[in-house]
Amino acid sequence: MSTDTVSTVVPDERIQRLNPVAAFIRRVREGQLGVIPVIFALIVIVIVFQSINHNFVSPSNLVNLSTQVAYVGMLALAINFILLLGEIDLSLAQLGGLCASLLGVLMLRHGMNPLLAVLIMLGFGVLVGLVQGWFFAVVGIPAFVVTLAGLLAYTGLTLTILGTQKNLSMSDTFAADLANFYFPAPVAYTFGVIVVGCYLIGQLVGAIRRRRAGLQSSSYVAIGIRSVILAAVLFAFLITVNYDFGLALPFFALGVVAILVDLMLRKTKYGRAIYAVGGNVEAARRSGIRVTAVRISVFMIAGLLAAFFGLIKAGVTTNAGSTLVGTQDLLNAIAAAVIGGTSLFGGRGSAWAPVLGALVVGSINNGLYLIGFNSDAQQIITALVLLAAVVLDALSRRGQRNVGR
């Protein structure tokens, strides 16, 4: 091989080690911003509302906010799965309400064992997801139509299950006890240490593996900085809430579910198949992925998470009646997933997108409430943030097309 030939070889910049500024510019150009916009939005929201009302980051308000974010985030996680397929599900909030009503009726009116009742409600959510997924993936009915029919049907079923008494209080049930359980401070700090430690180890292991494979990876300094920032934010939150009741179980449960979903999406073959189906169905089918099975299973997972949403919200609000859920729950959850960075067009998003988006939506609503705005203003501002997120998503996709991704 001649010297001239060697000199013409241009290495792919994607495997070059770039400095942080150059790497950031490249990510912007390629539309690979990840969670950076939503984290930036959260910082702005905290600064603005705290400067207007000093109670925004007070211990009691953070405890309330975390509890509200817990059930919004759980429903957003459910919708996130459907969005990853490039589809939409209009029935998940109402399904969660139906599951909660089923749980309340079984426990309070039929005296069923709480554990058995919970298993039945969770199984019911999975079964409904299976049926809806079958109509979508096998029969070929658009998900929008299937879930719209589901929305109407679950509303009627909820009223039928409740019978003549549409109100069903859950105040004396284990659901309310769980929703109002707060971890002691030492336990909460232990959870914080575990989360930061696992994050640091996971990042280091991933960087080492990528370097051994000759791929671009984060520097150890960058990993250390991110870990310190995570630790600072997490422990600042834990220290603050421990001045009040402490870390609420529903918010802890949301974090655990998000971690499990994150590991499944990033580390398993099944998770990668979901992205592949959402990104390009035909390419996924030709590569050997069982598209129908993936689609049905995703609807089943979403049904399960919707049931969890119903359980948490019934416990937090001590209500399993017909007024437990409304259209606003669904819209907030969809907005949370999209604001967090999940694409409406499928194939792009993460488990943390709906959680971060739920924090944004919850913080906006909470902050506006503290400064005296009514629900109308909250919806308008949330809609503007959602519109900005969709525009950013469209620009990101354009950037990816420009670089051939």
Q: Quick one: tokens of 250? A: 């529903």
Helices (H), 213-351: 220-241, 249-267, 269-279, 281-286, 291-317, 327-340
Q: CA 150, CA 253: separation in Å to the nearest integer?
A: 27
The predicted structure's pLDDT at residue 20: 60
What pLDDT, on a 0 to 100 scale, did the predictor assign at position 6? 44
| Residue found by looking up tokens 């284990």 in the block | 174
Task: Determine contact, residues 158/94, Cβ cutoff 8 Å.
Answer: yes
90-128 pLDDT, tens digit per residue, is 999 999 999 999 999 999 999 999 999 999 999 999 999
Structure tokens at 317: 């609000």
The predicted pLDDT at position 30 comes to 61
Share of the chain above pLDDT 70, in %: 89
Q: What is the four-CA torsion angle of 193, 198, 201, 205, rounded to 10 degrees?
A: -170
DSSP code of 268?
A: S
pTM: 0.88
Does residue 15 register a pLDDT over 80?
A: no
Q: Residue ranges of the domains in the chain?
A: 59-184+246-389
* 65 neighbors 366 (Cβ within 8 angstroms): yes
Number of helices (H), then strands (E), in the chain? 17, 2
User: Which DSSP helix (H) or strand (E) runs through 182?
Assistant: strand 182-183
Nearest-5° Cα angle at 253, 53 to 265: 110
Q: How far apart are CA 136 and CA 143, in angstroms?
A: 6
Average of per-residue pLDDT values in the chain = 88
Q: 2 falls in which pLDDT band (50, 70, 90)? A: very low
Q: Tens digits of per-residue pLDDT, 163-195?
A: 988 889 999 899 999 999 999 999 999 999 999
- Would you give the end-to-end CA distance of the chain in angstroms? 33
């589901």: which residue's tokens? Answer: 150
Q: Scan for tokens 């010297």, then name that residue.
A: 3
Instruction: Supply the pLDDT for residue 1.
Output: 42
* pLDDT confidence tier of residue 9, bands split at 50, 70 and 90: very low
Q: Sort 303 into a burial class: Cβ within 10 Å, 0-12 / 13-18 / 19+.
A: buried
Average pLDDT value for residue range 390-403: 68
* Element housing 183 (H / E): strand 182-183
The pLDDT-based confidence of 22 (bands split at 50, 70, 90) is low
Give backbone dihedrals phi and psi of 334, rounded to 5 degrees, phi first.
-65, -45
Angle formed by the axes of helices 92-104 and 327-340, nearest 10°: 130
Q: What CA–CA distance (Å, rounded) separates 231 from 238?
A: 10
pLDDT of 302? 97
CATH topology of domain 59-184+246-389: ABC transporter involved in vitamin B12 uptake, BtuC (1.10.3470)
3-state secondary structure of 172: coil
pLDDT digits 0-9 by tens, 257-285? 999 999 999 999 999 999 999 999 999 99
The predicted pLDDT at position 82 comes to: 96
Which amino acid does the sequence have at 372? Answer: G
Q: Tally Cβ neighbours within 10 Å of residue 152.
A: 13
Residue-wise pLDDT for 238-247, tens only, equals 999 999 999 9
**Residue 345, φ and ψ in degrees, nearest 5:** -95, 5
Task: Return the DSSP state at 169.
Answer: B
**Cα distance between residue 312 and residue 125, in whole Å:** 14
pLDDT-wise least confident of 260-274, 295-309, 364-378: 364-378
